[in-house]
Amino acid sequence: MTQPPYVIDEMISAKTIAARIEDLAKEIETAFAGTEKLVVVGLLRGSFVFIADLVRELDLNVEVDFLEASSYGDAMESSREVRILKDLRGEINGRDVLVVEDIVDTGFTLHHVVGLLRSRKPKRLETIALLDKPSRREVDIKATWTGFQIPDEFVVGYGIDYAQRNRNLPFIGKVRFT
Ligand code: PRP
């Protein structure tokens, strides 16, 4: 599929993201103080940059695992059907778990994943999303921690794609069609 021409305007700089992650990491350390090991679960593909930066700020014992869920494919509109394309490698029964999401939009993805992982009886499960678009919510869910609340703009970068492009931008940008 060919995309119409567009430009990307910076919305949240790499520096601002880094500073926010430092603060979030402190809150997570406090919340999980004393944990034997925290299983940090990144939702692929969008969270790969965020989880990499977040775990390097965490002064805790962490295990990193990934789960791939997809509801958009290359489309701009959620299919509202969340498919698990890759499950966790490890067990989370009785463990402390932090689910890392890049963006909560309709909420279908996080809601589905939290339901799935809670059914495996973790000791404690919390969630973190770098971005939150509350105005788009269709399912009642909110991450435990949120980096930035943003308006209903089409964003890319820092792991987030437009038709699989622009995930490698170091900042969050707003797509503007030209
Ligand atoms: C995107 C994004 C979130 C989800 C948020 O994933 O990474 O996981 O959509 O949308 P929602 O709140 O409306 O469910 P996508 O399905 O595009 O897969 P990707 O992470 O591989 O890009």
Ligand 1 in contact with 35 (CB < 6 A)?
no
**Exposure string for 9-21, b = 16+ CB within 10 A, e = fewer:** eebbeeeebeeeb
CA of residue 136 to ligand 1 center, whole Å: 13
Domains of the chain, each with CATH number or no CATH: 14-152 (3.40.50.2020)
Give me the tens of pLDDT residue by residue for the chain, a chain 178 residues long.
678 999 999 999 999 999 999 999 999 999 999 999 999 999 999 999 999 999 999 999 999 999 999 887 666 777 788 999 999 999 999 999 999 999 999 999 999 999 999 999 999 999 999 999 999 999 999 999 999 999 999 999 999 999 999 999 999 999 999 9
Ligand 1 in contact with 48 (CB < 6 A)?
no
Atom of ligand 1 nearest to the CA of 167: 22
Atom of ligand 1 nearest to the CA of 105: 12
Which of these, 99, 92, 133, lies nearest to 113 by C-alpha position? 99
Tally Cβ neighbours within 10 Å of residue 96.
23
User: pTM (2 decimals)?
Assistant: 0.96
Ligand 1 in contact with 134 (CB < 6 A)?
no
Ligand 1 in contact with 78 (CB < 6 A)?
yes
CA of residue 109 to ligand 1 center, whole Å: 7
Active-site positions?
Answer: 105
